[in-house]
Amino acid sequence: MMQLPSNDVNVKIVYEKARAFTRNNKINESDIIMLVVQLIPIVQNVVTDGHKGSYKKSLVLTVLALIVEDSKLESADKYRLNLLIQTTVPITIDTMINVAKGNIDLKKHAKSCFSCFF
């Protein structure tokens, strides 16, 4: 997935909103996933000029990478989080969008995976 330039107007807007969630600069893997959950609706509201889903996805990934880059984490921690952003977050975004669109029935999948709990 292509990273957007940091001077993209939408990157700047979404980055500032994302910073509100990461004020203490101590972010970890769980925070990255929670940020994805927070950023998707923000991006939906900010990007109103007809950009496609791939742009919006790149916007989320770019902002996450900038949050990690600007954090006070050690290099090894930044590397680990960037690896998560590059490998896990794109499919997480796709899955969340598919659930929101009704393309994935979580109730059906949960029942088949965890039938002993139902």
Q: Does 111 reside within a domain?
A: yes
4 inside domain: no
In this structure, is residue 3 part of a structural domain?
no
Residue 87 lies in domain:
9-117
| pLDDT tens by residue, 37-77 | 999 999 999 998 877 899 999 999 999 999 999 998 999 99
Alpha-carbon torsion (45, 97, 40, 1), positive or negative: negative
Does residue 49 lie within any of the structural domains? yes
* CA distance linking residue 93 with residue 71, whole number of Å: 22
Number of structural domains (the chain) is 1
The token pair that represents 99 in the structure block:
């659930």
Q: Does any domain span residue 2? A: no
- State the DSSP string of 83-111: HHHHHTHHHHHHHHHHHHTTSS-HHHHHH
Instruction: State the average pLDDT for the chain.
Output: 88
Looking at the domain assignment, is residue 1 inside a domain? no
In a domain, 47, yes or no: yes
pLDDT computed for residue 25 by the predictor = 65
**pLDDT score at 95:** 92
Q: Is residue 76 part of a domain?
A: yes
Element (H, E) at 67: helix 53-69
Note the Cα 40 to chain centre separation in Å.
7
